Amino acid sequence: MKEFELIKKYFTEQAVNRKDVVLGIGDDCALLTPAERQNIAVTTDTLVAGVHFPHETEPRAIGHKAIAVNLSDLAAMGAEPSWISVAITLPEIDETWVGEFCAGVFELCEYYNVQLVGGDTTQGPLSITVTAQGLIPFDKHISRSGAKAGDWLYVTGEIGDAALAIKHYYGKIELSKETLTATYQRLNYPKPRVLAGQALREYASAAIDLSDGVLSDLEHIRKASNVGVNIVLEDLPLSNELIDTLGHEAAIELALQGGDDYELLFTVSADNKVGMETALANVGVKVTCIGQLNATSKVTTTLNSEVTQINAIGFEHFSAKDNSHER
């Protein structure tokens, strides 16, 4: 099968057909018509085999995750996801693999009413690059730079389970069948917090999605907003599987440094706390307050009101350490 036959067979058949797509797949460019008084949010992420997912990951999970991580970026800005383009590099054409990959892509696209409008296919080591675009009403976007001293720090869902699954995949720990099943879902089928992000437009002062770990991603908010923060370690939302497997202290460290959570980390003023918690409850998303911002330029951590040192760092590409998927 040749490139254009592959595209026609697997990438043009989709359930979503948005009215704002004038011209989709099949030409040199897509033509899109956004609604009036809407900003367009654009994000791009690349997933590389062996770096962002283990080589043996099933293709449906890869397709799902490739879309989910981009929709998570849009969610952090408060955007409604609308269009995506996918560039995929394949070692060879395996129709079964491509069919399963597309199933993962289109399942998530259909759920969030996102249309695939273009992309590219090439031959080489397996990698997937997705560009996602979404719509935000004028002056309603959430940035990383709006946090202020006194704001409260929140996170959606639970954190650390995906990093636990990574440890299992790389032979650093042996998980029970039940724990592996639960953490596998968190690692390979993350749920982008799209509705939560849109609800936060009216309440959050800053936000970011958790891809590289709480400590790394929080640092982006802290530096952009020029604030300090204290994290209350006993308030971190950890699963029973994570605590039972590692113990509470090691679970805390992994949750702070582990990546691939794709939850939202955000700040909110004291005046907006109650409204935010109500809005997030209305869309069925659990949120947890894990700390407070201050006027220093430091990150501190406390455990049971005692200042505590944590030996944890977030994931960073091109670090001095081996650049592998393992966090």
Which tokens in the block code for residue 309?
């040192």
Give all strands (DSSP E) within the chain, no chain letters: 21-23, 31-32, 38-48, 80-90, 115-123, 127-137, 152-156, 204-209, 228-232, 264-268, 287-294, 299-303, 306-307
Q: Binding site for ATP: residue ranges?
A: 119-120, 144, 211
Instruction: For 49, list phi and psi in degrees, rounded to 5.
Output: -60, 130
Cα 206 to Cα 148: distance, rounded to the nearest angstrom = 9
Q: Binding site for Mg(2+): residue ranges?
A: 28, 43-45, 73, 120, 209, 212
Q: Are 314 and 212 in contact (CB under 8 A)?
A: yes
Q: Binding site: residue ranges?
A: 28, 43-45, 52, 73, 119-120, 144, 209, 211-212, 260, 315
Cα 179 to Cα 314: distance, rounded to the nearest angstrom = 23
Q: Binding site for substrate: residue ranges?
A: 52, 260, 315
Which tokens in the block code for residue 93?
């054409």
